[in-house]
Amino acid sequence: MAIHLNRRTMLALAGAGAVSLATPLAAQDTALRLAFIPQENPEKLLGDIEAITGWLASEIDVPVEGFVTIDHAAAVEALRNGDADISFMGALPFVLAEAEIGAVPLLSEVYRDAPSYTGRIFVRRDSGIGALADLRGRDIAFADPISESGYLYPLAEFVEAGLIDGPGAAEAFFGRVFFAGGYQQAMQAMAEGLVDAAGASQYADLLLTPQQQAQVTWIAESPPIPSHVVIARPGLDAEVQDRFTNAMLQLNEPENRDKLRYLYGPDGYVRADSAAYGGVRDMARRYGLLE
């Protein structure tokens, strides 16, 4: 279901904003609350949260608490109602959260010197598949239907190539479209020959065995996708935002880099550029996720 911003939802958002604005200082008197979304073993994430919140608290001189939400929606809800001040989030959920509650981007993750990455269409080198058109009637595995690099952007390459009319017409072009549940599962399905192609992050082939990596290649690549983002609820005190952001940027320093492993393992952070997420907003609209 798309988020349709009509007058009524806008009023609701305004109300939520007012509530949020009314609570932040009280919240900071107790603790800055960070929402984390599990990407792997939730138990490990709890340990990571303890480590990073402890360090952040010492850096910004404000108590910092962290908690795990079940998914993006719960994190956004927590931001909306003031249970969380800051959350770690993917680019697509961010632009939806921005539209829904006015979430503010603070920091973008950096991988291999860039706050962005791409999605690719991978195939086996011995498959004889050299172009997107060769995949007509063939099977493909994507990671997840709401993954930027694992579905939305790679599929858009087929649209750009004129092979698919739009996001809803993929089934007419491919033989079967699977959602494997993650990059690694999609790539493994392709490498093992269960499907002919996989749509996944540009780095997803690194999840295959070294032998498999040598056996696969890619035939199409999406434009850059902004990387994950750290967002704040609207109305979070500007000084607190600054202190938090500056502390997080300290993680780029050599002496602090070991702590990045507690935060989904990026190579570092940069200040978020909201304009950089324009392409994601466009993509969300194209897929009917955002009006």
Partner 1 sequence: MIQKSLGAFIAALASALVLSGPVAATPAKEAPWLPEAAAYRLTLFLANLEPLPWYDVGTAWAESYRGSEFAVGALAWLNGSSDIGPAPLLNAITRKDRQAVFAEATRLIARRIDEELDRAVMADDPARAQQAVRTARELYRAFADGIAAADPDASRRIGLAWLELNSSTGSAGVLGAGATPASRKTMEAAREVISGYLAENYLVDDFAPRRTLSALPETVVLSGRTIEVPPSLPPGSDMFDQDPLPRLVLNFEEQGIDETDLPLVAYGDMLFDSAQIFGNPAQDLGVACSTCHNRSDVNQRLFIPGASHQPGAIDVDGAFFNPIFNDRRDDPIDIPSLRGLRFTGPYGRDGRFASLRDFTRNVIVNEFGGDEPTPFMLDALLAYMLEFDFLPNSMLTPDGQLTEAAPEAAQRGEAIFNTPFAALGDRSCASCHVPDTNFLDRQAHDIGSVASAYDGARTGAMDTPTLLGTAYTAPYFHDGSLPTLAAVVDWFDESKALGLTAAERADLTAYLETVGAADEPYEAFDAENTAFRLAFSELTTFASTLNTLLPQRDAEHILLLTDTVAADLSADASTMSNLAARPEVYALAERLAEVGAAVRGEDWVAAEASWAAFKSEADAIEERAF
Q: Which candidate, 100, 78, 89, 94, places its Cα nearest to that of 33?
A: 78
Contacting residue, 81, 264, 270, 274, with partner 1 by CB under 8 A: 264
Asked whether the beta carbons of 94 and 100 are under 8 A apart, the reply is no
CA distances from 219 to 42, 71, 94, 128, 288 (A): 35, 32, 29, 11, 27
- Among residues 28 and 212, whose Cβ is nearest to partner 1? 212
Q: Which candidate, 290, 280, 233, 281, places its Cα nearest to that of 21?
A: 233
The binding track of 25-54 with respect to partner 1, each residue x by CB under 8 A or -, is: ------------xxxxxxxx--x-------
Count of residues interacting with partner 1 (CB under 8 A): 74
Residue 144 touching partner 1 (CB under 8 A): yes
Q: Which candidate, 149, 116, 135, 148, places its Cα nearest to that of 190?
A: 135
Q: Which candidate, 221, 205, 274, 235, places its Cα nearest to that of 13?
A: 235
Least Å distance between CB 70 and partner 1? 7
* Residues contacting residue 115 through CB under 8 Å, at least 6 positions apart: 108, 109, 226, 227, 270, 272, 273, 276
33 three-class SS: strand
Residue 127 touching partner 1 (CB under 8 A): no
Residue 228 touching partner 1 (CB under 8 A): yes
Least Å distance between CB 243 and partner 1? 25
Pairing of strands 119-124, 216-221: antiparallel
Q: Pick out residues in 104-123 that bind partner 1 (CB under 8 A).
A: 109, 111, 117
Contacting residue, 66, 150, 154, 279, with partner 1 by CB under 8 A: 150
Q: Pick out residues in 168-187 that bind partner 1 (CB under 8 A).
A: 177-185
Q: Specify the stretch interacting with partner 1 by CB under 8 A; choose among 18-26, 54-62, 196-204, 230-238.
A: 196-204
Q: Pick out residues in 4-23 that bind partner 1 (CB under 8 A).
A: none
Pairing of strands 64-68, 32-36: parallel
Q: Which candidate, 111, 123, 82, 106, places its Cα nearest to that of 220?
A: 123
Contacting residue, 79, 141, 260, 263, with partner 1 by CB under 8 A: 141
Residue 194 touching partner 1 (CB under 8 A): yes
Residue 274 touching partner 1 (CB under 8 A): no
- Among residues 216 and 240, whose Cβ is nearest to partner 1? 216
Q: Pick out residues in 207-226 that bind partner 1 (CB under 8 A).
A: 207-214, 217, 225
- Among residues 163 and 207, whose Cβ is nearest to partner 1? 207
- Among residues 177 and 249, whose Cβ is nearest to partner 1? 177
75 three-class SS: helix
Q: Pick out residues in 60-99 that bind partner 1 (CB under 8 A).
A: 70-73, 76, 90-93, 96-97
